[in-house]
């Protein structure tokens, strides 16, 4: 009997060993470190000062001599802009490919995707954090004393003063707004319209990520403190939870999140994958960071997460993992002048201290994302392009001149003072209702006529809101409006906004210029020429190619002289 038990135990042990070997063999081993030569390299003529910005099959970077250079992801030089002064190492790109840079003297500069300067704004002091771009192209700009929201065309929407320095850099949240922490642990959460919710944390955290937990579908913020403790804040309910059950003795050196998960760089150089739905760390993995690097200085690191994997970047290398902890690749970099950048096309860009940009093709997979004409589609919308609420649609008196005159003056004053702020959706909806009152939308029903001057003024004011969300309305208004003055105002508004991510404005202009039903009104045609030039300057190719065709037609000898002159001026500016 005893011999039988011994033989059974031995057989079970052997089966367990064989099973473990089979399981281990079924897991693919980590690939060896990447040691192939660069895919391509380009001489920069200067040292990269900050992390390159990779987007839309291109990469741009700031150099120590005040230049900004752009290359295609395949290494073709695209453009070179000289800022006429030293630049801080922050560069932000919008979905349309517009680049925002800032000189050390506080001059904020916007460059289109072809490297052409669009505008400058004097902030009075230099940036305290990178510019954030909202869903509709608006900019959130941070200095040590103020937060200012600008349109993509550089018009002020609102501003908020800061009484204390920024302790934790602003982070975009799931609502299209952002949060930041001031010295002393004061948490500020702001939406796109400047509405602010303030809270007091136990102290200033060293890091934070946003999470969308599957259990509640609520948006939460996970804060990391220097002592190693973590705190979860539910932004919908305001509930706070101290997380004590997760073994985590030190604050992370870098962090990122996607959905309900977060990736953390630990102080021993390992990468940890944290599931907040399960409230535990699922795995930790070795990275390219060596103990010598950790001992020498504080690691400057960046982590990103998307459906392809988790990517950790430092000046000494980079590594990619799947969400189940399998290593995708690992590369070591020598002589990097700044953090590298990993693009959507699987290319790693590293600016060397030898003034050369190196590109390494590490993956063939391309990041999947919904796109529009110029780049990734926004994650959501702010409701700025929505018409008047249905409950107000039958308010007959809202079209009376006695009501409209002071209302339009109020909105105009708010624009001049840069205080549209929390009234933005209300104002925009009202202006769209007035501007479109003659095209008979079914939402508004019977109503008295609105004078052309009021409709034109409403369109003109709407342009200063600068939201890409109003472009479909304005393009439709331009197409359907019969009065040439209002039609011209709609064209001018589209040009002032500049953003035409789906090409709706230029398509409307093309339909008005070319057969079968070309527009004849001289004032409206001149407005089309002016607006087309503005959109082309802002957007660059490929929209500018379509715009040049419109302008070339408007510059032909059979057009009125004022239209021809305006079109020729716009064509000249595009050829510079």
Inform me whether the pLDDT recorded for 398 exceeds 90: no
Percent of the chain with pLDDT over 90: 70
Assess if residue 454 is contained within a domain.
yes
Pure H helices in 464-516: 471-480, 484-497, 504-513
Assess if residue 265 is contained within a domain.
no
- Give tens-digit pLDDT for 480-518: 999 999 999 999 999 999 988 888 999 999 999 999 989
- Give tens-digit pLDDT for 195-208: 999 999 989 999 99
Gap between the Cα atoms of 557 and 382, Å rounded: 44
- Give tens-digit pLDDT for 139-179: 999 999 999 999 999 999 999 999 999 999 999 998 899 99
- Over the range 272-284, which residues count as b (16 or more CB within 10 Å of their CB) and which as e? bbbbbeeeebeee
- Give tens-digit pLDDT for 180-191: 999 999 999 999
- Give tens-digit pLDDT for 209-229: 999 887 666 889 999 998 888
- Give the tokens for residue 141: 């700009």
Is pTM beyond 0.85? Reply is yes
Question: What is the tally of structural domains in the chain?
Answer: 1
Instruction: Report residue 272's pLDDT band, with 50, 70 and 90 as the boundaries.
Output: very high
Assess if residue 180 is contained within a domain.
no
Q: Are 371 and 83 in contact (CB under 8 A)?
A: no
- Give tens-digit pLDDT for 427-454: 999 999 999 988 864 444 455 678 999 9
Owning domain of residue 505:
390-575
Gap between the Cα atoms of 338 and 335, Å rounded: 9
Q: Are 208 and 168 in contact (CB under 8 A)?
A: yes
Assess if residue 477 is contained within a domain.
yes
Assess if residue 500 is contained within a domain.
yes
Assess if residue 407 is contained within a domain.
yes
Assess if residue 5 is contained within a domain.
no
DSSP string covering 174-199, please?
TTS-EEEEETTTEEEEE-TT--EEEE
Q: Which residue has the tokens 């102080």?
A: 267
Q: What is the CATH number of the domain that holds 479?
A: 1.25.10.10
Assess if residue 302 is contained within a domain.
no
């Amino acid at each position: 009997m005893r011999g039988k038990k011994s033989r059974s135990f031995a057989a079970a042990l052997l089966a367990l060993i064989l099973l473990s070997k089979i399981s281990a063999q079924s897991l693919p081993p980590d690939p060896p470190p990447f040691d192939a030569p660069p895919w391509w390299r380009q001489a920069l003529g200067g040292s990269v000062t900050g992390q390159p910005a990779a987007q839309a099959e291109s990469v741009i970077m700031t150099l120590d001599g005040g230049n900004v250079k752009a290359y295609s992801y395949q290494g073709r030089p695209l453009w070179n802009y000289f800022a006429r002064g030293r630049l801080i190492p922050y560069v932000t790109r919008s979905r349309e490919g517009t680049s925002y840079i800032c000189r050390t003297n506080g001059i904020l500069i916007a460059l289109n995707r072809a490297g052409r300067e669009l505008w400058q704004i004097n902030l009075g002091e230099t940036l305290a954090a990178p510019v954030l771009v909202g869903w509709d192209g608006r900019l959130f700009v941070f200095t040590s004393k103020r937060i200012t929201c600008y349109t993509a065309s550089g018009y002020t929407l609102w501003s908020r003063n800061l009484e204390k320095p920024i302790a934790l850099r602003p982070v975009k949240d799931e609502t299209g707004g952002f949060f930041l922490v001031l010295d002393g642990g004061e948490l500020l959460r702001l939406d796109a319209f400047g509405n602010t919710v303030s809270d007091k944390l136990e102290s200033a955290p060293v890091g934070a990520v946003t999470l969308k937990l599957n259990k509640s579908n609520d948006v939460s913020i996970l804060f990391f403190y220097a002592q190693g403790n973590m705190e979860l804040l539910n932004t919908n309910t305001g509930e706070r939870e101290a997380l004590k059950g997760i073994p985590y003795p030190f604050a992370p050196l870098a962090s990122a999140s996607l959905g309900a998960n977060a990736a953390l760089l630990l102080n021993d150089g390992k990468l940890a994958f944290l599931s907040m739905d399960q409230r535990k760390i699922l795995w930790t993995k070795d990275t390219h960071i060596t103990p010598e690097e950790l001992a020498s200085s504080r690691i400057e690191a960046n982590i990103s997460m998307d459906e392809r994997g988790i990517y950790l970047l430092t000046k000494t290398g980079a590594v990619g993992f799947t969400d189940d902890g399998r290593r995708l690749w690992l590369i070591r970099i020598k002589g990097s002048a700044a953090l590298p950048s990993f693009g959507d096309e699987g290319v790693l860009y590293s600016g060397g201290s030898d003034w050369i940009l190196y590109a390494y093709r590490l993956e063939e997979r391309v990041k999947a994302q919904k796109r529009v004409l110029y780049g990734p589609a926004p994650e959501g919308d702010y409701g700025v392009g929505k018409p008047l609420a249905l409950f107000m649609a039958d308010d007959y008196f809202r079209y009376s001149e006695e009501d409209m005159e002071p209302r339009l003056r109020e909105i105009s004053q708010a624009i001049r003072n840069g205080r549209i702020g929390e009234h933005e959706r209300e104002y925009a909806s009202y202006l769209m209702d007035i501007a479109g009152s003659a095209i008979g939308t079914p939402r508004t029903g019977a109503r008295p006529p609105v004078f052309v001057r009021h409709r034109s003024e409403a369109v003109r004011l709407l342009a200063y809101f600068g939201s890409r969300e109003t472009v479909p309305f304005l393009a439709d208004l331009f197409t359907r409006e019969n009065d040439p003055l209002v039609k011209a105002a709609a064209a001018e508004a589209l040009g002032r906004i500049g953003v035409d991510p789906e090409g709706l404005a230029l398509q409307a202009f093309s339909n008005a210029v070319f057969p079968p039903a070309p527009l004849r009104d001289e004032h409206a045609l001149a407005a089309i020429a002016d607006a087309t030039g503005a959109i082309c300057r802002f957007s660059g190719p490929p929209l500018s190619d379509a715009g040049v065709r419109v302008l070339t037609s408007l510059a032909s000898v059979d057009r009125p002289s004022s239209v021809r002159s305006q079109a020729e001026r716009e064509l000249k500016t595009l050829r510079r």
